[in-house]
Structure 1
Amino acid sequence: MTTRHGATLLARLGFAARGIVYCLVGWFAIDAALRGGKVGDNQGAIASLADEPFGEWILAAMAAGLAGYALWRLAEAITDPQAQGTTAKGAFKRAGHAISGIAHVILAWTAAKLAVHAREAGGRVGGEESTRDWTAWLLGQPLGRVLVALVAAGLIGAALQQAKKAWDGSFAREMSGGTPVPQHVCTIGRIGYGARGLVFALIALFFVSAAWAADADEAGGMAHALATLQSQTGGRWLLTATGLGFVAFGIYSFVEARWRRISVDLPA
Structure 2
Amino acid sequence: MNLSSISSHIPSPQPQWVKPLAKFGLAAKGVVYCLVGILTFMAAFEIGGSSERNLDKQGVFRWILDQPFGQVLLALVAVGLVCYALWRLTQAFLDTEQKGTDAKGIGRRVGYAFSGLVYGSLAYYSFRLVLGSQNKQGGDNSRRTLVRELLQKPFGQWLVGLIGLVIIGIGLYQIYRALSGKYLKNVQTSAIKTELKEIIIRFGKIGYIARGIVWGLIGYLFIKAALAANASQAGDSSRAFAFLEEARYGSFLLGAVALGLFGYGLFMFVRARYEVINTST
**Aligned mates of 1:187, 1:178 — CA distance in 2:** 15
Q: 1:79 to 1:257 in 2, by over 3 A?
A: same
Q: Look up the match of 1:9.
A: 20
**Aligned mates of 2:138, 2:262 — CA distance in 1:** 18
The answer as to whether partners of 2:187 and 2:274 remain within 8 angstroms in 1 is yes
Q: Which amino acid aligns with 2:41?
A: I
* Displacement of 1:259: 1.7
The answer as to whether partners of 1:128 and 1:223 remain within 8 angstroms in 2 is no
Q: Which amino acid aligns with 2:181?
A: G
Are 2:243 and 1:228 aligned?
yes
Q: Look up the match of 2:8.
A: none
Q: Look up the match of 2:7.
A: none
Gapped runs of 5+ residues in structure 1?
none
Q: Look up the match of 2:273.
A: 258
Q: Look up the match of 2:124.
A: 109
**Partner deviation per Cα, 1:114-157 (whole Å, 9 max, x = no partner):** 11129x975xx567622211222233345433432342233122
Q: Output the aligned Cα RMSD.
A: 2.6
Are 2:72 and 1:61 aligned?
no
Q: Which amino acid aligns with 1:220?
A: G
**Aligned mates of 2:160, 2:178 — CA distance in 1:** 27
The answer as to whether partners of 2:44 and 2:254 remain within 8 angstroms in 1 is yes
Q: Which amino acid aligns with 1:156?
A: I
* SS of equivalent to 1:174: coil
The answer as to whether partners of 2:171 and 2:215 remain within 8 angstroms in 1 is yes
Q: Look up the match of 1:161.
A: 173
* SS of equivalent to 1:233: coil
**Aligned mates of 2:106, 2:168 — CA distance in 1:** 16
More moved, 224-233 vs 256-265: 256-265
Q: Look up the match of 2:183.
A: 171
* Displacement of 1:42: 1.0
More moved, 10-19 vs 36-45: 36-45
Gapped runs of 5+ residues in structure 2?
1-12
Are 2:198 and 1:183 aligned?
yes
The answer as to whether partners of 1:41 and 1:126 remain within 8 angstroms in 2 is no
140, 143, 148: which one aligns with 1:136:
148
Larger Rg: 2
**Aligned mates of 2:111, 2:130 — CA distance in 1:** 28
Q: 1:177 to 1:21 in 2, by over 3 A?
A: closer
Q: Which amino acid aligns with 1:5?
A: Q
TM-score after normalising by structure 2: 0.83
Q: Which amino acid aligns with 1:215?
A: N
The answer as to whether partners of 2:18 and 2:87 remain within 8 angstroms in 1 is yes
* SS of equivalent to 1:198: helix
Q: Look up the match of 2:34.
A: 23
Q: Look up the match of 2:45.
A: 34
More moved, 51-60 vs 248-257: 51-60
The count of aligned residue pairs is 262
The answer as to whether partners of 2:64 and 2:70 remain within 8 angstroms in 1 is yes
The answer as to whether partners of 1:15 and 1:69 remain within 8 angstroms in 2 is yes
* SS of equivalent to 1:84: coil
The answer as to whether partners of 1:47 and 1:121 remain within 8 angstroms in 2 is no
The answer as to whether partners of 2:191 and 2:274 remain within 8 angstroms in 1 is no
**Partner deviation per Cα, 1:50-107 (whole Å, 9 max, x = no partner):** 1222222211111111111112112222333333354544343233222222211121
**Aligned mates of 2:250, 2:189 — CA distance in 1:** 41
TM-score after normalising by structure 1: 0.87
139, 145, 150: which one aligns with 2:157:
145
